[in-house]
């Protein structure tokens, strides 16, 4: 393919969805790869693997292809960044949709050396018993790791963090950053004291690529962020809030899964 043909592909607007196997497939959906017979060695190696749709592309003749990254590929971040060797192309007829359950990421955020800023990490540590489609991770202050995870095609990401928003210490908030109209502005000055916060991570992620799914923030009003010298451990009121946050997140996950199943009926 020459440079002019590549430019034609780059100038095309990617399709938002395509039908395959009786389902509507979009970016971020999971599929099982079923390469056509007579393919090359990559087809043989990838047959049966579970992949995530990174984008839906058309070639210069109008044929549709799914660009995918392997779910278990340690280097899939490179595929999301469109690097060769970690990003593969299949026709809609060569994939089996796996859209029965939404992929949910639950991400703890916080610095355990800054008092109540460790709220998100403690909640993530306490969470358990979710189905396989729900991933729970404590990201601590690893902002780039969380940004890459948000680009990984999750249907919903639930971020957990301490966030000063003017309420009584220990108050829990459920915020949707895209629609809350305040997380990235009014709370930003307070959040700047953190080594990592949802607002900065969302900005970083959007600079790297589109966030395909919905993002929620479960936040707790801190009593103390440790001061200049820091502090280990949560305050009593925020420690009690952890006990309330665990079932709250469980309820959110159940509602998300139930909502998807209801839409399919």
Residue 260 banded pLDDT, cuts 50, 70, 90: low
Gap between the Cα atoms of 226 and 96, Å rounded: 51
Q: Per-residue pLDDT averaged across 130-147, rounded?
A: 90
Gap between the Cα atoms of 174 and 73, Å rounded: 33
Long-range contacts of 185-191 (CB under 8 A, 24+ apart): 187/163, 190/163, 190/164, 190/165, 191/163, 191/164
Residue 9 banded pLDDT, cuts 50, 70, 90: low
Same domain, 68 and 120: no
Cβ atoms within 10 Å of 126's Cβ, excluding its own? 14
Same domain, 186 and 152: yes
Contact 243, 126 (CB under 8 A): no
**Mean per-residue pLDDT of the chain:** 81
- The closest of 160, 172, 28 to 106, measured between CA atoms, is 160
Gap between the Cα atoms of 198 and 217, Å rounded: 8
Which CATH number is 165's domain given? 3.40.50.1450
Quote the pLDDT of residue 178.
Answer: 60
Same domain, 159 and 88: no
Same domain, 93 and 145: no
Specify the number of domains making up the chain: 2
pLDDT tens, 196-228? Answer: 778 888 888 888 887 878 999 999 999 998 777
Same domain, 138 and 188: yes
pTM flag (> 0.85): no
Q: What is the DSSP string of 153-168?
A: --SEEEEEEE---SS-
Last residue of a domain, one of 72, 97, 122: 97
Parallel/antiparallel/unpaired status of strands 156-162 and 214-220: parallel
Same domain, 91 and 108: no
4-13, 56-65, 236-245, range with greatest mean pLDDT: 236-245
Quote the pLDDT of residue 132.
Answer: 77
pLDDT tens, 222-239? Answer: 999 877 777 889 999 999
Last residue of a domain, one of 97, 127, 148: 97
Q: Per-residue pLDDT averaged across 149-158, rounded?
A: 88
Same domain, 149 and 64: no
pLDDT tens, 51-93? Answer: 888 888 887 777 888 888 888 888 777 666 666 678 888 899 9
Print burial letters for 150-175: b (CB count within 10 Å at least 16), e (below 16): bbbbbbbbbbbbbbbbeeebbbeeeb
Backbone dihedral region of 50: left (phi > 0), alpha (psi from -120 to 50 degrees) or beta?
A: beta
Per the structure block, which two tokens stand in for 95?
């994939």
Quote the pLDDT of residue 181.
Answer: 40
Same domain, 91 and 116: no
Same domain, 136 and 19: no
Same domain, 29 and 87: yes
Same domain, 90 and 108: no
Last residue of a domain, one of 52, 70, 97: 97
Q: What domain range is 115 assigned to?
A: 104-264
pLDDT tens, 170-193? Answer: 999 999 876 334 444 433 433 343
Q: Where are the alpha helices (DSSP H) in the chain?
A: 3-11, 41-46, 76-80, 119-126, 143-150, 177-180, 188-191, 198-208, 236-264
Same domain, 36 and 148: no
Q: Per-residue pLDDT averaged across 3-19, rounded?
A: 62
Q: Per-residue pLDDT averaged across 4-31, rounded?
A: 70
Per the structure block, which two tokens stand in for 149?
């995870």
Gap between the Cα atoms of 110 and 232, Å rounded: 12
């Amino acid at each position: 393919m020459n440079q002019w043909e590549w430019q034609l592909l780059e100038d095309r607007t990617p399709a938002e969805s395509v039908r395959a196997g009786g389902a509507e497939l979009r970016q971020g959906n999971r599929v099982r790869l079923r390469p056509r017979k007579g393919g090359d060695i990559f087809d043989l190696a990838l047959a049966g693997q579970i992949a995530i749709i990174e984008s839906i592309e058309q070639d210069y003749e109008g044929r549709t292809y799914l660009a995918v990254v392997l779910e278990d590929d340690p280097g899939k971040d490179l595929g999301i960044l469109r690097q060769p060797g970690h990003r593969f192309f299949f026709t809609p007829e060569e994939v089996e949709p796996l859209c029965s359950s939404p992929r949910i990421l639950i991400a703890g955020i916080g610095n355990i050396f800054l008092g109540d800023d460790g709220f998100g990490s403690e909640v993530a540590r306490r969470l358990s018993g979710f189905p396989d489609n729900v991933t729970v991770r404590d990201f601590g202050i690893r902002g780039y790791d969380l940004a890459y995870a948000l680009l990984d095609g999750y249907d919903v990401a639930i971020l957990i963090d301490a966030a000063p928003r003017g309420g009584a210490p220990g108050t829990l908030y459920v915020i949707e950053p895209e629609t809350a109209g305040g997380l990235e502005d009014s709370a930003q000055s307070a959040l700047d004291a953190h080594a990592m916060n949802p607002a900065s991570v969302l900005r970083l992620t959007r600079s790297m690529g589109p966030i395909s799914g919905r993002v929620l923030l479960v936040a707790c009003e801190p009593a103390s962020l440790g001061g200049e010298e820091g502090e280990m451990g949560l305050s009593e009121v925020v420690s009690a809030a952890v006990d309330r946050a665990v079932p709250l997140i469980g309820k959110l996950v159940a509602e998300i899964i139930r909502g998807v199943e209801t839409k399919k009926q």
